[in-house]
Amino acid sequence: MNIPRTSYPRIVIIGGGFAGISLAKKLSKQEVQVVLLDKHNYHTFQPLLYQVSTGGLEPDSIAYPIRKILKDFPNFYFRLAHVDEIDTLNSRVITDIGELKFDYLVIASGSKTNYFGNETIKANSMAMKTIPQSLNLRSLILENFEEALLTSDLNERNSLMNFVIVGGGPTGVELAGALAEIKKGILPKDYPDLDTRLAQIHIVQSSDCILKGMSDKASQKAEDFLEKLGVNIWKNVRVTNYDGKTVTTNTDLVFETATLIWAAGVMGATIKGLDAAELVTRGNRLLVNEFNQVKGFSTIFAVGDIACLVTEEFPDGLPMMAQPAIQQGEQLGDNMLRLIEEKPMKPFVYKDKGAMATIGRNKAVVDLKHFKFQGIFAWYVWMYVHLFFLIGFRNRMVVFINWVYNYIRFDREARLIIRPYKKKLKR
Ligand SMILES: Cc1cc2nc3c(=O)[nH]c(=O)nc-3n(C[C@H](O)[C@H](O)[C@H](O)COP(=O)(O)OP(=O)(O)OC[C@H]3O[C@@H](n4cnc5c(N)ncnc54)[C@H](O)[C@@H]3O)c2cc1C
């Protein structure tokens, strides 16, 4: 990998997401050598992926080059590499560009879409976990309308304009709201010769409420907002299969659709060599202690979505969200320096800053620890928080300008089929 061995201890970080980057920043200017490995050369701001899928933002405004984040840090190395295996016996990682020894290893590989073992759904549905996937979804949505315009088969036209989102968490809710706004504000102008009122947006949720995990008030208000936007919400319904045309459920409910969007869950992105059953728990996450050490190891750590840190308040592990990842990365940076200096490490304590979701223009729900609110003020807070956590001044400016423009013009200008998406169906 062409990385020199120095007298400094070598810390290898796998993953330049929220956790990996906040850890790397903490270790900057310290007497350690840091090697960050990621299969992408950019950091992705996942909370805004849905806006890329729906043409509200260009993909490059929510991505940031990892090399640029690290450019002023001495003793830092970035390698564009997919880590295939971790050899814990010999303290080395095996990647598609070679092998590398480590003194300390931090796994910050995040999560991947969880299809709960259903290979047919995996093959035929659309996911929204990466920028390429969001671009695929953007293309497919637009291609569907182009095709709907051409077909004289009414069933086919309805199926092309029918969007089924599985999962009523923040991702499903935000995507549904954005699609509903496109239906209302953009489709009638773009497709005057198509009856776009026939377009349908459905959320299918297996439990009895959407935004589970947020307050009852937030969940109910989000439901009201979505219903006003014309989104159909199906609660207590579980999708059982999708062959590319028909969605079946555990009830009599069946949907004919060309687009099933799977936002029903994620699971830890474990790596071979550190995926034994005794290390992996609920949600395919690595069991870690209060210092983020992976069970049974003193020099291997895990932070962010991949790490399952069980606390009294969170018996199933901390939520798979940006805040726990950022806070764990920062705290681990301090702890690693303490460990190297042979000082005792400090246990990680999660400061829950709350949760939020936007449903659309002027509509959001925010749950802070002591204060819960919904509506236009919540929407401003949602925008402010997302701008604040975006990496890069340019990205913040571009997103802000786009939002102002979209707000004033009721528009989403990035509705472009740059890279056509062709579905490969598996029956
Ligand atoms: C659509 C969507 C919307 C979301 N909205 C919100 C929200 O509104 N608020 C919120 O708090 N959270 C939200 N989240 C969750 C939040 O984005 C994650 O909790 C957070 O990204 C976790 O950070 P992380 O550093 O653990 O992992 P990630 O940010 O996922 O980073 C993992 C990194 O590891 C790299 N990687 C993985 N495996 C390998 C490998 N084998 N080799 C090399 N590199 C590898 C990946 O390329 C990636 O860069 C959302 C997530 C999604 C998908």
- Percent of the chain having pLDDT more than 90? 92
pLDDT tens digit sequence for 120-169: 999 999 999 999 999 999 999 999 999 999 999 999 999 999 999 999 99
pLDDT tens digit sequence for 3-41: 999 999 999 999 999 999 999 999 998 899 999 999 999
Mean pLDDT for 52-72 is 95
pLDDT at 328 over 90: yes
Q: pLDDT at position 426, please?
A: 64
Q: Which atom of ligand 1 is nearest to the CA of 43?
A: 49
Asked if 174 is an active-site residue, the reply is: yes
Residue among 31, 85, 174, 330 flagged as catalytic: 174
Q: Which atom of ligand 1 is nearest to the CA of 81?
A: 43
Which two tokens mark 329? 């990365």
How far is the C-alpha of 366 from the C-alpha of 214, rounded, in Å? Answer: 9
Angle between helices 170-185 and 216-228 (to 10 degrees): 20
Which protein residue has the closest C-alpha to ligand 1 atom 20?
Answer: 322
Q: Considering only CA atoms, which of 356, 350, 351 is closest in space to residue 385?
A: 356
Q: pLDDT at position 138, please?
A: 97
CA of 111 to the centre of ligand 1 (A): 6
Mean pLDDT of the chain: 95
| pLDDT band at residue 422 under the 50/70/90 scheme | confident
Q: Which atom of ligand 1 is nearest to the CA of 386?
A: 8
Ligand 1 near 122 CB (within 6 A): no
CA of 108 to the centre of ligand 1 (A): 9
Which protein residue has the closest C-alpha to ligand 1 atom 17?
Answer: 46
How far is the C-alpha of 222 from the C-alpha of 228, rounded, in Å? Answer: 10
Mean pLDDT for 384-406 is 94
Q: Judge residue 25's burial from the number of C-beta atoms within 10 Å of its C-beta, 0-12 exposed, 13-18 middle, 19 or more buried.
A: middle
Higher-confidence residue of 426 and 108: namely 108
Ligand 1 near 15 CB (within 6 A): yes
Residue 292 backbone class (left: φ over 0; alpha: ψ -120 to 50; beta: rest): left
Q: Which atom of ligand 1 is nearest to the CA of 263?
A: 1
Substitution candidate for ligand 1 out of 51, 109, 367, 381 with most atoms within 8 A of CB:
109
How far is the C-alpha of 265 from the C-alpha of 170, rounded, in Å? Answer: 11
Alpha-helix residue ranges (DSSP H) falling in 199-304: 216-228
Q: pLDDT at position 427, please?
A: 59
Residues 6+ apart with CB under 8 A from 178: 50, 51, 53, 54, 56, 360
Which two tokens mark 2? 């062409």
Which protein residue has the closest C-alpha to ligand 1 atom 50?
Answer: 47
Ligand 1 near 114 CB (within 6 A): no
CA of 319 to the centre of ligand 1 (A): 12
CA of 318 to the centre of ligand 1 (A): 14
Which protein residue has the closest C-alpha to ligand 1 atom 3?
Answer: 47
Ligand 1 near 88 CB (within 6 A): no
Ligand 1 near 17 CB (within 6 A): yes
SS3 254: strand
pLDDT tens digit sequence for 191-243: 999 999 999 999 999 999 999 989 999 999 999 999 999 999 999 999 999 99
Ligand 1 near 109 CB (within 6 A): yes
pLDDT tens digit sequence for 227-237: 999 999 999 99
Ligand 1 near 317 CB (within 6 A): no
Ligand 1 near 49 CB (within 6 A): yes
- Percent of the chain having pLDDT more than 70? 99
How far is the C-alpha of 35 from the C-alpha of 12, rounded, in Å? Answer: 5
Alpha-helix residue ranges (DSSP H) falling in 37-152: 49-53, 66-70, 119-124, 131-150
CA of 326 to the centre of ligand 1 (A): 11
Ligand 1 near 82 CB (within 6 A): yes
Q: pLDDT at position 164, please?
A: 98
Ligand 1 near 321 CB (within 6 A): yes
Are 175 and 196 spatial neighbours (Cβ–Cβ below 8 Å)?
A: no
Ligand 1 near 167 CB (within 6 A): no
Buried residues in 43-56 as b, exposed as e (16+ CB within 10 A):
bbbbbbbbbbbbbb
Q: Which atom of ligand 1 is nearest to the CA of 306?
A: 26
Residues 6+ apart with CB under 8 A from 111: 129, 266, 267, 268, 269, 305, 306, 320
Which protein residue has the closest C-alpha to ligand 1 atom 8?
Answer: 47
Q: pLDDT at position 74, please?
A: 87
